[in-house]
Structure 1
Amino acid sequence: MMLLGVDNLTVRIGGRAIIDNVTLSVGHGELVGLIGPNGAGKTTLLKACLGLARASGDVNLADRPLAAMTPLERARAVAYLPQDHEIAWAVAVRHIVGLGRQPWREASVFGDYAGGHVIARAMECMGVDALADRRADTLSGGERARVLIARALAQAAPLLVADEPVAGLDPAHQIALMEVFGSLLHDGRSVVCSLHDLGLAARWCTRLVMLSEGRVVADGPPSAVLTPENLRRVYGVEAFFGHAGGGPVVMPTGLSKK
């Protein structure tokens, strides 16, 4: 079963194709990094995959047409973490994270008996358990980001879609988050996340999808996608490629010569 299937997806805004005839699929146990320069269409593609942007083509979640699913069914199939990390509510952090359990509370007449444990585990994973009683609107930017990631984890959907989840996090929390994402794969869950940090993408993702001008230009393991030729053609940069600490290292070093 495919957790996400996209066929000939196109998004047009003002007569221009922001996403142009994209086809891809995500199975169980994948950590898929969506990469590409600014304006490549990453955010629009993620939104279109969730029905949050008007598009033509076919989208399936858990082998079911997205258009035929109710909001509750969608919420049980996929958790979404948008770029915006704002929290306007003057409520405790534990209540923000607890919102991730709403699809399961509504789906069962017996209540969400596992919810308390799932919420506590999600907060622990993101290192925000000590903030449980803090007002969410008093947090720093990095703290807000981690709280919202914890909320998405508490949703416990088979697929997690995250738009630039490491933005605003310091290096230690970036690495910790990628470790958390990697741990989800052991349960057959999958993550699709847009990333600008090519080093994190190379080291942690099991697969990369590279976008340029709304089209998929490369799709495969990091070693096959993050090549000198692709980085010059798509990003216009040169990069250092190495190996350290048991994994690959990719670091942009300068602009490519025209």
Structure 2
Amino acid sequence: MNLLEAKAVSVRLGGRNVVENISFSIAAGEFVGLIGPNGAGKSTLLKACLGLNNASGNILLQDTPLAEMSAQARGRAVSYLPQEHEIAWPVSVRHLVELGRQPWLKADGGRDFAGRHAIARAIARLGITELAERPANTLSGGERARVLIARALAQTTPLLLADEPAAGLDPAHQIGLMKIFRSLLSDGHSVVSSMHDLSLAARWCTRLIMIDKGHIVADDRPENVLTADNLRAVYGVEAFFAEAKGGPVLLPLDLYSGV
């Protein structure tokens, strides 16, 4: 059973096709990086997979058509970390993380015992214990990002879709986040994350889907996707490739001259 399956998905926005005839599936235990230049359709595709964009084609979560699932069922199957990190209300950080448990709350008001552990673990994993009682709207950009990641983790879904989750984080917290995402795989969970940082994508993802102009250009292991030819054709850059501490290193160096 796939956690997510997209079949011939297309999204039209502003009179143009932003995503066109895309198909892929996500199995358990994968960390998939969704990469491509600005405007390639990455965020639009993620939203389509959640039912947040009108899309043609078929999208299934755990073999169930997305259109046939209730909001609660969707919330138990997939969590979403949006690109925007705005927090408008002065609720505490702890309360904001607790909101990730909404899909699991019972109609009769019964206690969510599993939620206590999930909330505490998410707060600890993101290193925000000292922020727990602070108003969430007073935090820095990086702190807000970590709190919203904790909320998504507290939802304890098999699949997490994240839109640029490392944006705004310093290098230590970026690496820490990548390690958290990789740790989820051992429990059979999967992560699909749009990413602009190709060095993080190369080193931490188990698979990459490269998108350009609304189409999939490559879908394979990082070393087979992040090739010199693909980087020139899709990003228009030259890059440095190496190995360090058992993993790949990629550094964009210059614009591709076409010569």
Q: Is 2:155 the counterpart of 1:136?
A: no
Q: CA offsets, 1:106-126, max 9 Å, x none?
A: 367642111111101001111
Q: Among all aligned residue pairs of Structure 1 and Structure 2, give the percentage whose two residues are the same amino acid.
A: 64
Shift of 1:137: 0.8
Instruction: Determine the C-alpha separation between the residues in 1 that align with 2:48 and 2:128.
Output: 31
Q: Is 2:239 the counterpart of 1:256?
A: no
Q: CA offsets, 1:68-113, max 9 Å, x none?
A: 0000000000000000001111111000000001111136764211
Q: Is 2:229 the counterpart of 1:224?
A: no
Instruction: Determine the C-alpha separation between the residues in 2 that align with 1:236 and 1:164.
Output: 21
* Structure 2: gaps spanning 5 or more residues: none
Tell me the equivalent position of 1:181.
Answer: 181
Instruction: Determine the C-alpha separation between the residues in 2 that align with 1:238 and 1:57.
Output: 36
Judged with a 3 Å threshold, the aligned counterparts in structure 2 of structure 1 residues 167 and 107 are, in CA distance, closer, same or farther, namely farther
* Structure 1: gaps spanning 5 or more residues: none
Q: C-alpha root-mean-square deviation of aligned residues, in Å?
A: 1.0
Point out 4+ residue stretches in structure 1 off by more than 6 angstroms: none
Q: Report the TM-score when normalising by structure 2.
A: 0.98
What letter corresponds to residue 117 of structure 2 in structure 1?
H
Instruction: Determine the C-alpha separation between the residues in 2 that align with 1:210 and 1:219.
Output: 6
Tell me the equivalent position of 2:77.
Answer: 77
Tell me the equivalent position of 2:60.
Answer: 60
SS of the equivalent of 2:186 reads: helix
Q: Is 2:36 the counterpart of 1:36?
A: yes
Shift of 1:16: 1.2
Pairs aligned (count): 258
Moved more, 7-16 or 168-177: 7-16
Instruction: Give 1:1-258 correspondences, 5 Å limit.
Output: 1-106=1-106, 110-258=110-258
Instruction: Determine the C-alpha separation between the residues in 1 that align with 2:198 and 2:222.
Output: 10
What letter corresponds to residue 251 of structure 2 in structure 1?
M
Q: Report the TM-score when normalising by structure 1.
A: 0.98
Judged with a 3 Å threshold, the aligned counterparts in structure 2 of structure 1 residues 108 and 115 are, in CA distance, closer, same or farther, namely farther
Instruction: Determine the C-alpha separation between the residues in 2 that align with 1:107 and 1:159.
Output: 24
Moved more, 115-124 or 211-220: 115-124
Instruction: Determine the C-alpha separation between the residues in 1 that align with 2:107 and 2:40.
Output: 37
Instruction: Determine the C-alpha separation between the residues in 2 that align with 1:17 and 1:108.
Output: 44
SS of the equivalent of 2:238 reads: strand
SS of the equivalent of 2:106 reads: helix
SS of the equivalent of 2:153 reads: helix
What letter corresponds to residue 122 of structure 1 in structure 2?
A
Instruction: Determine the C-alpha separation between the residues in 2 that align with 1:223 and 1:217.
Output: 14
